[in-house]
Chain A
């Protein structure tokens, strides 16, 4: 019997079972990956990535069930919310789980990003995974934002409107972009349909693909080790052993990474699910009146993860707050980790981003001055607070590191510039989001939450 050239005996086209055997072997090889047990502990990653994945799994499950009840039309979509609340058994729990899990996912993605950043997990060879992670962050925000409209109540309608108006402030293309997103000039039935398709089809598929690549790279890049400047894993336990003169038997300390890790992380995800169920029992997902394009609530608030942006929009012109700042943030996330100027030190390298105290003082002073003047000029008082905290920490860090490295000051002084930028960004995000969500009343005026 003639066989096609180049295909070895026993493999190939005539017996598909061989392919399964091969896949099984690949899979076993993958599962046989080993990792130091100490690297699987909670304190290493806080399981933030796994918990985010868990949230996504909850989103897919509850989302599919919600799709059984939901029609993306007006006003039926809103009536379906009422049916979920009043007729479908545990329908409110489905909705609440979906809602709180979406919030948790956005929150956890941010936490995951910060954790990875501060652990400098973006270093070689994980640059690609960092970039994918940034895309996943954006995709998560878009998923959440497109889902926000679907209940078609006042909250969702106006939240989406505010978001769409932020987009339209992009010069030249903004208006068109909004038009394509909404399928019209205002949030209407076309927008609802588009958001529905984006929310239930396109963005989930995108996220699934990105997650697959993310996990694949995680596997390929060798798990959760800090790496030294040569790309070799750094294991603190080993340094201790080496110091004590004991032999290092790396392979013996290793354990099957998937079996152990999955087990731990599934427990974490279950615990998170318990928390979300309890939240669902305590607080129903909000639902206000049917969307009324003629009645703008005051204030019309965006979803909480955009209220920071909205707070900026309150201070800066739309072009600055809606475009320049977000663009700076996103491009910063893409480029700062890989720019030698911003990120010129590794964790255990005593090199500093500027060794000489006067220059460092000068830069810190300039930073305080520029940012301070800018924020005072636009009366962005709440944005001043993180800037001042960062400025004070910067000044503290001007002390040259004492040997051996001990104490906050020396720790601070060994941080690279990227650390400071990320810290400022996160602090601003937390402060502005908190202010925008909790402290803003009618006409975006300052209101103490307990007076509301």
Chain B
């Protein structure tokens, strides 16, 4: 029998007559319609749950794990946040700490974290499609869901959606936010943070209104061409100007420059002492004045030594006009009223020594090949147009060019930028983090006509910045205010004579007072409650350091007696914390017996000497401040309250709360106030 015949017989059997046709089609329909429900029994999530059940059988705490495991689809529902997260359907062991040794997903427990899974869900931090119950749909970008899982290296950004405060667990985010402010991103881009405030730049682009006094056209040319060639640590970005453009800008900047207030003053000049002595004396003066708290200089090994609050001075001698430098050292505000540089009370000899030292910091090669044609009006006009077009005045003050308005895109919601609005470069991974990182790393790669310049950032810095920007999500901006952990943005400025003096000294460049100011030096908001007058006066006369390990120190301002009195009067009366009346601690309780008990506690029970030094001969603690003269420095009440709760008076301190009883705190205080630079009897 041929194959065709056999086939015909089979076909006739099934569809030969109408009832057979009906039966065949009905059976087929029954089979086909049961495929989908059957497939459901073998879905991905059931597969993972079955694997989990098999896996936990071999664990020592199998009974407990099995009791806690519930089969079926699990979901976290947070209506206010539009969150329906079914991630825990497959990631079943998120809350099983006993499985912490598992490294492979999906059964890895979640690392310890301060939030409850059920209150926050998963996608608020990790993104992805929480409602999905298949691996592909939940984790990756699909037609139905654009934003895939956030790569784990950017996860910290999610903390930044609510937390404006500096968290210990988010170094990337913190660094990114610092960089956002430090690199002046916010000069051009408006970035509204979850608490409603704008990111404020902390860099200090100098005013260029009198730039011709300070430097030369050649230097401006070389600087604009490549700022990092002059100072590797500079935050000024590279605009990739052509030689012609850079020359035009230099011509314009010199042409627009006017005379500063300083230039009208007579320059009193002391002759620098001759020879090597001068260099030696200048170097040592630079050191003893603690200029390096803010300024850095590259040492012979090529490492930067010093702070990053102010410009690097490695090649400053190739840049500045010597007379400008002398005037500047005497009165920085006379050149730039908004500078953060304090007005030191240098005498003429100090100015001479310092300027000699600084002018010796030069690099003759830097300008060796710069030969500019004479500037002409056409070049100046072109330069002015470039300065306006590239938004130079978003950062720098320039005569005749107003700061541009809404110059660059608002980045307040960049973390939720829909991908259809993104112009990716061909070949790059089409995700938002990759786009942001790529844009920061090399903006011009996205189009040669784009104006955004190239910043000199390391890969880690780019990643941190990306993390900080990814925190700027729609969710962050629309977050209910009670969920936002904010920081203070008070614009406190001290008033009166002392206030003017503090303004002159730019105290808030380094110190924060009532929520306003730098974070380099201690917060002074409660300084009046904390310190004793004599110590404060002595310290301002001759600032020494409390923490020997630190390089940055309070500079010497050469303040007059009257100035110190005015400052200390003001600080002791104005910067008081509430509840610090001396009644809180009876003086009679701080007797010698108590001090002896306190010493016992200090060295044995609480081992304070592991971080602090009470006695230079014995103790080696370098983490906390030295306490050798704490009895001179701090008030007993302050010491007592600080011991009771370190974080309350010194937010963010690394000092752990020792959980002292009142008696122990009193005894320790009694001991600590005996620690004086010049002890008058009592224990050593």
Contact = CB atoms under 8 A, between A and B. Distances in A.
A386 interface: no
Contacts of A82: 84, 131-132, 144
Contacts of A274: 25, 28-29, 32
Interface residues of A, number: 30
Interface in A57-101: 75, 79, 82-83, 85-87, 89-90, 92-93
Interface in B16-44: 18, 21-22, 25-26, 28-29, 32-33, 35-37, 40
A86 B131 contact: yes
Contacts of A153: 144
A273 interface: yes
Interface in A234-271: 263-264, 266-267, 270-271
Nearest to B41: A89
Interface in B248-289: none
**Which applies to chain A's interface (DSSP): helix, strand, loop or mixed?**
helix
Interface stretch (A2-10, A281-289, A406-414): A281-289
B32 A87 contact: no
A159 to B, nearest CB: 15
B131 A79 contact: yes
A342 interface: no
Contacts of B86: 86-87
Contact of B37 (A89, A263, A295): A89
A218 interface: no
B204 interface: no
Interface residues of B, number: 28
B73 interface: yes
B82 interface: yes
B420 A295 contact: yes
A277 B131 contact: no
A280 interface: yes
A402 interface: no
A52 to B, nearest CB: 18
Contacts of A75: 82
A287 B22 contact: no
A292 interface: yes
A12 to B, nearest CB: 43
Interface in B637-680: none
B144 A281 contact: no
B29 A270 contact: yes
A271 B29 CA distance: 7
B83 to A, nearest CB: 11
B336 interface: no
Contact of A270 (B25, B40, B73, B420): B25
B145 A289 contact: yes
B36 A93 contact: yes
Interface string B126-141: 0000011110010000
Contacts of A93: 36
B73 A87 contact: yes
Given A86-B137, A274-B25, A281 B145 contact: no
B24 to A, nearest CB: 9
Given A273-B29, A289-B145, A263 B22 contact: yes
A278 interface: yes
A267 B29 contact: no
A280 B146 contact: no
B143 interface: yes
B25 A86 contact: no
Contacts of A263: 18, 22
Contact of B29 (A92, A264, A277, A280): A277
A126 B40 CA distance: 49
A286 B25 CA distance: 28
Contacts of A278: 32
A93 B37 CA distance: 9
Contact of A288 (B33, B37, B143): B143
Nearest to A287: B144
B418 interface: yes
Nearest to B22: A267
Nearest to B37: A90
A281 B420 CA distance: 30
Name the residue among A83, A264, A267, A295 with the largest chain B CB count within 10 angstroms: A267
A424 to B, nearest CB: 37
Contacts of B146: 289
A289 B143 contact: yes
Given A87-B86, A267-B25, A292 B418 contact: yes
A133 B133 CA distance: 44
Contacts of A280: 36
Given A87-B73, A90-B36, A277-B32, A288 B144 contact: yes
A167 B86 CA distance: 42
A274 B40 CA distance: 19
Contacts of A277: 29, 32-33, 35-36
11 contacts: A75-B82, A87-B86, A267-B25, A271-B25, A273-B29, A278-B32, A286-B143, A288-B143, A289-B143, A289-B145, A289-B146
Closest 8 interchain pairs by CB?
A93-B36, A90-B36, A277-B32, A86-B133, A82-B131, A270-B25, A89-B40, A270-B29
Given A75-B82, A292-B418, 7 more contacts: A86-B132, A87-B73, A87-B133, A90-B40, A270-B25, A270-B26, A274-B32
